[in-house]
Structure 1
Amino acid sequence: MLADWRRLLTTALLLLSPLPALADGVLRVLAWPGYADADVVKEFEQRTNSKVEVTIVESDADLWRKLNEDNGANFDIFAVNTAELQRYIHQGLVTEINTAAIPNLTRQLPRFRQRQGIPGLVHGGKTYAIPYTYSEMGLIYDRKQIPVAPDSITALWDKRYQGKIIAYNGGVHSFSLAAQVLALPSPFHIGEQQWPAAVAQLIALRRNASAFYTGPAESVALFKERRAALMFANFGSQQLQLLKAANVDVGYAIPREGALAWLDCWAISRGVRDMPLATRWINYVLDDMPGRVLLQRQGLANTTSPSPYFKNTARIVWLEPAESEERRDKLWGRILAGDRAGKVLQP
Structure 2
Amino acid sequence: MSDSTVVRDEREAALAGGWRRRHLGRVVLSCLSLSAGPACAAESRTLRVLAWPGYADPDLVHRFEQNLAARVELTIVDTDQALWHHMQPGPGANFDVVAVNTAELQRYIQLNAVQPLQLKNLPGRQRQLPRFQALEGIPGLVHGGRSYAIPYAWSEMGLIYHPDHFATPPASIAALWDPRLQGRVLAYDGGTHAFSLAAQKLGLPSPFRIPAAKWPMLVESLVALRRNVSGFYTLPEESLDLFRRRGVWLMLANYGRQQFQLLRQAGLDVRYALPREGALAWLDCWAVTRQARDPDLAHAWINHMLSPAASEALRQRQGLGATTNDGDAPALTAPLVWLEPVEDDDRRNRLWRRIVSGDSVAKVLRS
Fold agreement, TM-score > 0.5: yes
* Correspondence for 2:201: 181
Distance 1:161 1:34 in 2: 37
Deviation at 1:154, TM superposition (A): 1.8
Q: Does 1:56 align with 2:78?
A: yes
* Correspondence for 2:217: 197
Q: For structure 1, list consecutive stretches of 5 or more residues without a partner in the other structure.
A: 1-18, 58-62
* Correspondence for 2:46: 23
Deviation at 1:39, TM superposition (A): 5.3
Distance 1:75 1:171 in 2: 34
Distance 2:346 2:290 in 1: 22
Alignment of 1:94-109 (within 5 A): 94-99=114-119, 102-109=122-129
Distance 1:151 1:235 in 2: 18
* Cα distance change of structure 1 residues 98 and 315 upon mapping to structure 2, 3 Å threshold: closer
Alignment of 1:236-315 (within 5 A): 236-268=256-288, 279-306=299-326, 308-312=328-332, 314-315=334-335
* Cα distance change of structure 1 residues 304 and 148 upon mapping to structure 2, 3 Å threshold: closer
Instruction: Give the TM-score, by structure 1 length.
Output: 0.74
* Cα distance change of structure 1 residues 301 and 342 upon mapping to structure 2, 3 Å threshold: same
Q: For structure 2, list consecutive stretches of 5 or more residues without a partner in the other structure.
A: 1-41
* Cα distance change of structure 1 residues 122 and 257 upon mapping to structure 2, 3 Å threshold: closer
Q: Is the 8 A contact 1:244 1:250 kept in 2?
A: yes
Distance 1:105 1:259 in 2: 24
Distance 2:211 2:260 in 1: 34
Alignment of 1:1-347 (within 5 A): 21-23=44-46, 27-29=49-51, 31=52, 34-36=54-56, 40=60, 48-57=70-79, 63=80, 65-69=81-85, 72=88, 73=92, 76=95, 78-99=98-119, 102-146=122-166, 148-214=168-234, 216=236, 219-220=239-240, 222-224=242-244, 226-268=246-288, 279-306=299-326, 308-312=328-332, 314-346=334-366
Q: Is the 8 A contact 1:241 1:298 kept in 2?
A: no
Distance 1:75 1:195 in 2: 42
1:153-194 per-position Cα deviation (integer Å, ceiling 9, x unaligned): 122123444444332233332111111222323323321111
What is the one-letter code of the residue matched to 2:82? K
RMSD: 3.7
Tell me the SS of whatever aligns to 2:304: helix
Deviation at 1:246, TM superposition (A): 3.0
What is the one-letter code of the residue matched to 1:66? A
Tell me the SS of whatever aligns to 2:277: coil
* Cα distance change of structure 1 residues 38 and 117 upon mapping to structure 2, 3 Å threshold: same
1:254-307 per-position Cα deviation (integer Å, ceiling 9, x unaligned): 323333344332235667788666555433321111101223344433222156
Q: Is the 8 A contact 2:322 2:329 kept in 1?
A: no
* Cα distance change of structure 1 residues 43 and 205 upon mapping to structure 2, 3 Å threshold: farther
Instruction: Give the TM-score, by structure 2 length.
Output: 0.70
Distance 2:252 2:363 in 1: 26
Give the paired residue count.
321
Distance 2:242 2:119 in 1: 41
* Percent identity of paired positions between Structure 1 and Structure 2: 51
Tell me the SS of whatever aligns to 1:184: coil
Q: Is the 8 A contact 2:323 2:329 kept in 1?
A: no
Q: Is the 8 A contact 1:131 1:264 kept in 2?
A: yes
Q: Is the 8 A contact 2:43 2:71 kept in 1?
A: no
* Cα distance change of structure 1 residues 126 and 255 upon mapping to structure 2, 3 Å threshold: closer
Distance 2:283 2:358 in 1: 32
Tell me the SS of whatever aligns to 1:195: helix
After the TM superposition, which of the residue ranges 272-281 and 318-327 deviates more from structure 2?
A: 272-281
* Cα distance change of structure 1 residues 84 and 309 upon mapping to structure 2, 3 Å threshold: same
Distance 1:224 1:21 in 2: 55
Distance 1:156 1:117 in 2: 29
* Cα distance change of structure 1 residues 117 and 253 upon mapping to structure 2, 3 Å threshold: closer
Tell me the SS of whatever aligns to 1:56: coil
